[in-house]
């Protein structure tokens, strides 16, 4: 009889350990598996740098204890540090339920002959939907009107029905997308369905599967767009991609939406543009520093901003997709097949 595969499902309060266990059990339904469940604290407890890795839960000791004798780890926030890898000689496969394994020391994993996989695309649909939601909220001032009526008991939100204060609609609106990957391409399809005039800037994409228009430069996109939404990956080149110079290229009354990564956008320059009236609104789900500081200038901008605490990828379907993708990698590894998304 084949020995049971020993695995650890180190989930949290979003990627539930039970979801990981179910997905692995289904993937390996013809093989005995012994899965230990461990619940880490995120998002009820913050993540951050742990030893030499970033965006992880501070749980090295708990992870080491759970991994005793385990060959496979599936996690989202588990800190796979050099210390953890040194203490777990049986470990051979780590699958991270995220778009990148930032919580894993890849060099140490390679030196220990541990394969490291990740699950790209698991939150693309959720983030695209959330982006469109932010855009609609900013254009039509939905959160502000709700706050006036529901929280303050005031009908003063009717002022948003005046011509001066009423919002914009998507039909025929020129909307520029910075980035056309898994999220941006989905946003483009939805906006085209609304009848928006979609334009895209992405130097790495040469074919658009939409009826939109590809523009050659970011400056051109900004000059022609009443609204921009950011979908670029955060790299050394894209950090601060949209700053004071770029925001000044937007037409007066422009709107900025960012549900990608906070550091793509210069928040100080954004606040300046909103305070001066050059921009009419912004909707942000991600920030340069998270959580957003109590004294952030963004908090003082009132009804000019819609702010949410990095919830773009928070849907039940994301957790289910991530665990299914992770379990599929475990299945490929067990069967000796090529891994789909592997960095070591």
Q: Do 212 and 158 share a domain, yes or no?
A: yes
Question: Does this model's pTM top 0.75?
Answer: yes
In-domain check, residue 61: yes
Q: Are residues 233 and 325 in the same domain?
A: no
Residues 239 and 100 in one domain: no
Mean pLDDT for all residues in the chain: 95
Q: Is the domain of 154 the same as that of 47?
A: no
Does one domain contain both 111 and 142?
no
Which residue is catalytic, options 6, 22, 310, 332? 310
Same domain, 74 and 103: yes
Residue 106 inside a domain? The answer is yes
pLDDT score at 1: 42
Out of 98, 197, 261, 304, the active site residue is: 261
Within a domain: residue 265?
Answer: yes
Rounded Cα–Cα distance for residues 188 and 315 (Å):
20
CATH classification at residue 161: 3.40.50.720
User: What is the domain extent for residue 90?
Assistant: 5-122+315-334
Tens digits of residue pLDDT in 161-178:
888 888 899 999 999 999
Active site (annotated) includes residue 290: yes
Calpha distance 64→80 (Å, rounded): 9
Q: Is 143 found in the same domain as 104? A: no
7-41 confidence digits (pLDDT tens): 999 999 999 999 999 999 999 998 999 999 999 99
Assess whether 129 and 106 both reside in one domain. no
Place 210 in a pLDDT band, splitting at 50, 70 and 90.
Answer: low
* CA separation, residue 268 to residues 38, 177, 242, 275, 277 (Å): 41, 21, 11, 11, 14
Whether 227 and 298 share a structural domain: yes
211 as an active site residue: the answer is: no
Decide which of 252 and 344 is more confident: 252
CA pair distance 318, 265, nearest whole angstrom: 25
The answer to whether residues 81 and 133 belong to one domain is no
- Span 206-217, average pLDDT: 80
The reply to whether 267 and 324 lie within a common domain is no
Catalytic residue among 275, 290, 299, 316: 290
Q: What is the pLDDT at residue 56?
A: 97
> Is residue 266, in this structure, part of any structural domain at all?
yes
Work out the average pLDDT over 185-194.
95
Residue 93 Cα to chain centre, angstroms: 24
| Residues 99 and 196 both lie in one domain | no
pLDDT digit string, tens, across residues 65-90: 999 999 999 999 999 999 999 999 99
Active site residue 289: no
């Amino acid at each position: 009889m084949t020995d049971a595969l020993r695995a650890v499902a180190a989930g949290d309060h979003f990627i539930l350990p039970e979801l990981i266990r179910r997905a692995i059990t289904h993937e390996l339904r013809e093989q005995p598996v012994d899965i230990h469940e461990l619940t880490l604290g995120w998002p009820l407890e913050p993540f951050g740098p742990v030893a030499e890795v970033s965006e992880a839960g501070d749980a090295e000791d708990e992870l080491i204890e759970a991994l005793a004798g385990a060959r496979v780890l599936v996690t989202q926030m588990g800190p796979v540090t050099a210390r953890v890898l040194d203490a777990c000689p049986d470990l051979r496969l780590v699958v991270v339920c995220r778009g990148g394994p930032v919580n894993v020391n890849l060099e140490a994993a390679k030196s220990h002959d541990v394969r490291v996989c990740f699950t790209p695309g698991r939150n693309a649909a959720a983030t695209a939907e959330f982006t469109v939601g932010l855009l609609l909220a900013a254009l039509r001032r939905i959160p502000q009107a709700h706050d006036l009526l529901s929280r303050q008991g005031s009908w003063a939100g009717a002022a948003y029905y005046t011509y001066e204060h009423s919002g914009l609609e998507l039909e025929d609106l020129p909307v520029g997308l910075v980035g056309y990957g898994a999220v941006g391409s989905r946003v483009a399809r939805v906006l085209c369905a609304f009848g928006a005039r979609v334009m895209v800037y992405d130097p790495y994409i040469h074919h658009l599967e939409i009826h939109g228009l590809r523009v050659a430069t970011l400056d051109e996109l900004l000059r022609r767009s009443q609204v921009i939404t950011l979908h670029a990956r955060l790299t050394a080149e894209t950090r601060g991609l949209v700053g004071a110079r770029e925001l000044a290229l937007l037409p007066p009354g422009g709107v900025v939406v960012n549900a990608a990564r906070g550091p793509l956008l210069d928040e100080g320059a954004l606040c300046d543009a909103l305070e001066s009236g050059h921009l009419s609104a912004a909707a942000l789900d991600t920030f340069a520093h998270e959580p957003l500081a109590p004294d952030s200038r963004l908090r003082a901008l009132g009804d000019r901003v819609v702010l949410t605490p990095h919830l773009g990828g928070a849907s039940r379907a994301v957790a289910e997709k991530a665990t299914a993708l992770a379990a599929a990698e475990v299945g490929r590894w067990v069967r000796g097949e090529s891994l789909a998304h592997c960095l070591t």
